[in-house]
Amino acid sequence: MDVPIEYFVLLSMALFSIGLFGILTRRNALLFLMSVEIMVNAANVNLIAFAFYHGNLTGQVFALFAMALAAAEVAIGLGIVLVLYRNFRDVDVTVPTTMRW
Amino acid sequence: MEGLFDYAPAIALFPLAAFVIALAFGPKLPKKGAIPGIVATGGSLLLSLAMLAAVAGGEEGYYHETLFTWAAGDAAGEIGTDAIEFTFGILIDPLAALMLVIVSLVAFLVHVFSLEYMNAEGETGLPRYYAGLGLFTFSMLAFVYADNLLMAFMFFELVGLCSFLLIGFWFRTRSAPSAAKKAFLVTRFGDYFFLIGVVAIAATFGTVQFAGEDSFVAAAAAAIDDGGQLFGFDAETWVTITGLLVLGGVIGKSAQFPLHTWLPDAMEGPTTVSALIHAATMVAAGVYLVARMFGYYALSPTALAIIAFVGGFTALFAATMGVVKDDIKQVLAYSTISQYGYMMLGLGVGGYVAGVFHLMNHAFFKALLFLGSGAVIVLMHHEQDMWKMGGLKDKAPVTYYTFLAGALALAGIVPFSGFWSKDEILYDALIVGLEQPLIMAAYAMGLIAVFFTGFYTFRMVFLTFHGEPRTETAEDPHSVGWAIKAPLLVLGVLATVAGLANLAPVAKLTGAEISFLEYWLDGEYGGLEALTYHSYHETVPFEEGAIGSETTTMLLGAGLSLGLALAGAFTAHALYNVPSPTRHTEKLGGAYDVLRSNYYQDEYQVWLAEGLTLPVARAADRFDQTVIDGAVDGVSSVSLFGGDRVKRIQSGIVTNYAALLVAGFIALLIVLGFLGGWFL
Amino acid sequence: MTNRPRLRLGQSLAPGVLAVALFGAMAMIVLNTGFADEMVGFPAGISVTSEIGYALFDFTALQSAEGSIGDTEPFLAAFLLVAVVLDAALDAALVLAKRETEGEPVAALSSRTGATPGTTGSDQVAATDGSGRRRESADESAASDTAAESGGDS
């Protein structure tokens, strides 16, 4: 049962890197959102692992909060995707480049 | 009697009130502001006379009060007090009281004279004129009773500003604004040194008071006695340096060589303003400042010698230029420069009484001459060229006789006032000069100037009043009223009898105690301990010699100067007191051109400005434009260029931003990891 | 159409290198950090879930007193804040999803009667079946891409 903390952290980092790779390669906005979710959950893994490591419940509570905020973020993100689609007839994030200089 | 001194601030505040009234309500007043001015200066005159009486009759014999402290700090001077204070205060000692009377009297008479000279001529802008006169009088009176150097400096500057305003009164002409600017700039050049001097004195002694225990004069005397070092100099050398810095302001204001060039141009102002400037206010301010802090100069023989030499040189220099002028006011302008040269000479050789005496006499007879010339200008319908006058003697007897009195005083003919004071100056210079070659040279120049003074004065009188009328206006002059005649008569009487104030030669011959001014300034009637002629005389480090006995020397000197003055006058008589005089200038040959061009003083000063300062300024400007601006512009160009390049990173594609973020994060991790040893 | 997993170089090489480098750097750091071997853990016999619940609602009185779970801070304020944020997010999502046709707001989830099929298909993404299916298929293909790539990486 006692898995050393390093493995949890490595798992979390692996998740984070996978999510990051998704962000860097995907052009579909929905997949973008999913990749971000993966990264958020990587953080959650860390929170929970360290909560157990320190024997303190705060980390767990924070993980709950992070999930709630992730839900809010997804709601907004989906709204943005909708607008994106309406304006560009596409959900490719490389298309709307007009907001730069 | 003592309570009277509480009203002392009012002496200066009356003209200030007149200034405000003339400025605010002038256009609606019946005489456009003349009446408040006359009332105010009259009030100042009465109060000043009361002060004079109070100083003479009071127990202490002076009044010294700090009215307002506007800055105090604990910055210590090099020596002296450990806390410096900047204050406004009033110091009325015999010298200040005398000067207050002179200034307010001349200002009062000028105001009265203006009633006819300005008002009757239908000038425009009269409220501005009377406001200027009021402010001018205010500044000068406040300057006279200032009790410290900084306050004196502030009002000194205000006097300069007022002269600028009044000289440029006819600002629509081409020459008046230029003359006003010149007067302002040239005196400002001198005042620049004055300011440095004030700062140096304040920094050295921690006080700027003229009088009392904690005055800078006393501190300087103590420092010289201690024999210490001030800012790396001997105490005496440092006193000389600071004294000469202050003297810069004096030379500018009192129109001494080489900063005299503004004064002849200042004739562009109304003649009444010239009278005020030359007799009582602006130009007198310089010499008065030397007299005020004479105790300081008396500590330094070098400074005194320089004052004396500059004075003597200026006296001769200006007198020679006055010989060839055609404009009646120009002649008077050069005579003013010359006479102030005498005062500087007198003060420089330690003749404190003589210098102040001449300052007083000159105030009277020069105000008289200027107002007289103003009367002549009114007579001649604003014609100032003496060659177009002549024969006015019979048509305007009051003007003629008062003018003649002034001219005799100016030329120094016995027994008119100018003789006594000028003779005393020359006598003081002579007895010191017998021991000091430099002073002897200054004395010689002063003596030669006596001849020229007599010559140009009577050339002016003869050309203006004698002979046949040379133009139609001279045959049928405009008439003048009481407002012109009354001031002339008052000043004419004063110019004739003012010499009685100090008949030093007669006193020496007869033994009678009639040198009143000397007693006055010597604290016989009171006065501050350290500010008397007596104590100055002890401080002045010059030896005095004599030719034979003292009386012989005196008689010799007086006879010499009187003879020269008479010689000048008779030369003028021979040349110009004929029915139709000619110019006689061809006899001067090449010297005429030099004199006519004022020894090319203006030319060389313009050359200094255009040939020297302008290229330097231009080079500095180019340096500024290219190097400094170039550096600034370069920075902005580099930023613009760099920004233009760097902004291409902003592709607008989220993925790129994320990639950059991650790359940056990795770099940060690696750097911090190596620095913090996280990888070990 | 099934493709053999292939390592696609080119466009995704640099991101891949970045992600792997980040993982490597962080892993190096983690492995070099001296964590304690023993996890503290939670004592047996105490329900973690109910403790969390009590903490969320500030029911400090109900929390197990004798247990060795470290002091859990009260989170009521944070909880309420999150609730507000979620609500705001919901509203914001609705605002974003709402369309405006000729100045008139149109409900996000209702299809307009009388609209032509062509416009319906393109405009009302969330509501129509057809486009929803298309989106699903797009997601599936993307997911298979991911699978292919990760397969290629490993």
Q: Searching chain A, which residue's CA lies closest to the CA of residue C88?
A: A72
Cβ–Cβ of A65/C82 closer than 8 Å?
Answer: yes
Confidence band of C124 (pLDDT split at 50, 70, 90): very low
The DSSP bridge partners found for residue B64 are B91
Q: Is the peptide bond before B258 cis (omega within 30 degrees of 0)?
A: yes
With a cut of 50, say whether residue B553 has pLDDT above it.
yes
Q: Tell if the CB–CB gap between B655 and A20 is shorter than 8 Å.
A: no
Q: Is residue B322 part of a domain?
A: yes
Tell me the pLDDT band of B678, cut-offs 50, 70 and 90.
Answer: confident
Residues B511 and B586 in one domain: yes
* pLDDT of the residue at C101: 65
Same domain, B559 and B627: no
Residue B602 lies in a domain: yes
Whether residue C145 is predicted with pLDDT greater than 60 in this model: the reply is: no
Q: Do C41 and A56 touch (CB under 8 A)?
A: no
Do residue B365 and residue B376 come from a single domain? Answer: yes
Residue B559 has pLDDT above 90, yes or no: no
Closest-approach residue (CA) in chain C for A78: C93
Sign of CA dihedral B278, B281, B285, B287: positive
Say if the Cβ atoms of C29 and B663 lie within 8 Å. Answer: no
Claim to verify: residue B406 and residue B314 sit in the same structural domain: yes
Q: Which residue of C has its CA nearest to A11?
A: C27
Cα dihedral B209→B211→B212→B214 (10° resolution)? 30
B446 and B530 part of one domain = yes
Last residue of a domain, which of B559, B579, B596? B596
Inform me whether the pLDDT recorded for C89 exceeds 70. yes
C118 touches chain A (CB under 8 A): no
pLDDT digits (tens, 9 = 90+) for A30-44: 998 999 999 999 999
pLDDT in tens, B594-620: 777 777 777 777 888 888 889 999 999
Average pLDDT over residues B128-134: 87
Is C88 part of a structural domain of the chain? Answer: yes
In this predicted model, what pLDDT tens digit does every residue of B268-307 receive, in sequence order? 888 888 888 888 788 888 888 888 888 888 888 888 888 8
Give the structural domain span for B486. 300-596
Cα separation, B524 vs B533, in Å, equals 10
Whether C11 and chain A come into contact, CB under 8 Å, resolves to yes
Long-range CB pairs of B534-537, under 8 A, 24+ apart, other chains included: B535/B295, B536/B294, B536/B295, B536/B298, B536/B350, B536/B352, B537/B350, B537/B352
Using an 8 Å Cβ cutoff, are C88 and C65 in contact? no
For residue B526, name the pLDDT band (cuts at 50, 70, 90). low
**pLDDT digits over B296-353, tens only?**
888 888 888 888 888 888 888 888 888 888 888 888 888 888 889 989 888 888 888 8
Give the nearest partner residue to A97 out of B647, B653, B662, using CB atoms: B653
Is C106 part of any domain? yes
Distance from CA of B629 to the nearest CA of A (A): 30
- Mean pLDDT taken over chain B: 83
B191 part of a folded domain: no
Alpha carbon distances (Å) from B280 to B166, B283, B355, C54: 15, 7, 15, 98
What is the reported pLDDT for C128? 40
In this predicted model, what pLDDT tens digit does every residue of A52-66 receive, in sequence order?
888 888 889 999 999
B647 at A interface, C-beta within 8 A: yes
Q: Of B375, B377, B342, nearest to B361 (Cα)?
A: B342
Give the type of residue at B192: Y
To test the contact with chain C by mutation, choose from A30, A46, A57, A64 the residue with the greatest count of C C-beta atoms within 10 A, namely A57
Q: Residue B485 domain-assigned?
A: yes
CATH number where A44 lies: 1.10.287.3510
Calculate the alpha carbon distances from A74 to A77, A78, B306 in Å.
5, 6, 93
Q: Return the DSSP state at B634.
A: H
Position C119 scores a pLDDT of: 43
Q: Quote the pLDDT of residue C2.
A: 62
Substitution target in A18, A33, A101 with the highest count of B β-carbons within 10 Å is: A101
Residue B524 confidence (pLDDT) = 61
B351-361 pLDDT per residue, tens: 888 888 888 88
In a domain, C38, yes or no: no
Which residue among B666, B678, B680 places its CB closest to the CB of C22?
B666
Looking at residue C74, its amino acid is P
Higher pLDDT, C118 or B22: B22
- Residue C7 included in any domain: no
Q: Would you say residue C152 has pLDDT above 50?
A: no
| B437 and B390 part of one domain | yes
Q: What are the tokens at B74?
A: 């604990």
Q: Between B655, B670, B678, which is nearest C32 by CB?
A: B678
Q: What is the mean pLDDT of chain C?
A: 69
Q: What is the pLDDT of residues B356-392, one digit of tens each?
A: 888 888 888 888 888 888 888 888 877 778 787 777 7
pTM of the model: 0.69
Contact predicate B235/B228, CB 8 Å: yes
For chain B, the domain total comes to 3
Distance from chain centroid for Cα B91: 20
**Residue A55 within any structural domain of the chain:** yes
Q: Is residue C76 part of a domain?
A: yes
Query: Which residues form the domain of A34?
Result: 5-88
Handedness of CA B535, B536, B540, B542 (dihedral sign): negative
Q: How confident is the model at residue B79 (pLDDT cuts 50, 70, 90)?
A: low
Final residue before a domain boundary, out of B564, B596, B628: B596
Model pLDDT, residue A65? 93
Contact list in A for residue B658 (CB cut-off 8 A) is 20, 23-24
* A21: contact with C, CB 8 A cutoff: yes
Whether the CB-CB separation of B26 and B33 falls below 8 Å is answered with yes
Question: Residue A18 corresponds to which tokens in the numbers above?
Answer: 């996978």
- Asked, for residue A21, whether it belongs to a domain, the answer is yes
Largest Cα–Cα distance of chain C, in whole Å? 69
Q: Is the pLDDT of residue B182 over 50?
A: yes
Nearest to B455 by CA among B405, B491, B407: B407
Residue B397 and residue B471 in one domain: yes
State how far the alpha carbon of A101 is from the alpha carbons of A87, A98, B644, B646, B651, in Å: 19, 8, 10, 11, 8
Can you give the pLDDT at residue C5? 60
Mean pLDDT value across residues B646-665: 86
- Contact A23/B655 with Cβ under 8 angstroms? yes
The yes-or-no verdict on residue B111 having pLDDT over 50 is yes
* Inter-chain touch C89–A75, beta carbons under 8 Å: yes
pLDDT digits (tens, 9 = 90+) for B16-41: 988 888 888 877 777 777 888 888 88
Number of domains in chain C: 1
Better-predicted residue by pLDDT, B607 or B196: B196
Residues shown for chain A: 101
Backbone φ, ψ for residue B70 (5° rounding): -105, -5
Record: contact C32-B679, CB cut-off 8 A: yes
Q: Quote the pLDDT of residue A46.
A: 93
Domains in chain A: how many in total?
Answer: 1
Provide the greatest CA pair distance for chain A: 55
A101 closest CB neighbour out of B647, B653, B655? B647
Burial of B183 (0-12, 13-18, 19+ CB in 10 A): buried
pLDDT in tens, B209-230: 887 777 888 888 888 887 777 7
Please tell me whether the interface predicted TM-score (ipTM) of this complex is above 0.85.
yes
In sequence order, what are the beta bridge partners of B91? B64
Chain A: give the shortest CA distance to residue B656, in Å.
Answer: 8
pLDDT score of C71 more than 80: no
Question: In A, residues 71-90, which contact C (CB 8 Å cutoff)?
Answer: 71-73, 75-76, 78-80, 82-83, 85-86, 89
Both B396 and B545 in one domain: the answer is yes
Q: With a cut of 80, say whether residue C114 has pLDDT above it.
A: no
B435-462 CB burial, b ≥16 within 10 A, e <16: ebeebbebbebbbbbbbbbbbbbbbbbb
Render pLDDT for B504-516 as a digit per residue (tens, 0 to 9): 777 777 777 777 7
Cα C63 to the chain's mean position, in Å?
31
How high is the pLDDT of residue B1? 45
Contacts of C11 in chain B (CB under 8 A): none
* Cα–Cα distance for residue pair B456/B451, rounded to 1 Å: 9
Beta bridge partners of B146: B90
pLDDT at B78 over 70: no
Give the pLDDT confidence score for residue C148 in this predicted structure: 42
Give B502's strand partners: B515
Of the pLDDT bands very low, low, confident and very high (cuts 50, 70, 90), residue B557 is confident
**C15: chain B residues, CB-CB within 8 Å:** 655, 659
Mean predicted confidence (pLDDT) in C85-97: 88
Work out the percent of chain B whose per-residue pLDDT is above 70.
94
Domain-ending residue, one of B563, B596, B629: B596
Per-residue pLDDT, C118: 43
Of A5, A28, A79, the CB nearest to C92: A79
pLDDT for res C81 = 93
- What was the pLDDT predicted at B383? 77
Average pLDDT on B468-479 reads: 75
Where in the sequence is the domain holding C76, given as residue range(s)?
71-111
In this complex, is the C-beta atom of C89 within 8 Å of any C-beta atom belonging to chain A? yes
Question: Is residue B650 within 8 Å of residue A100, measured between CB atoms?
Answer: yes
Q: Is the pLDDT of residue B530 over 70?
A: no
Residues B524 and B556 in one domain: yes
- Predicted confidence at residue B148, as pLDDT, reads 85
Sequential DSSP letters for A42-101: HHHHHHHHHHHHHT-THHHHHHHHHHHHHHHHHHHHHHHHHHHHHHHSS-BTTS--TT--
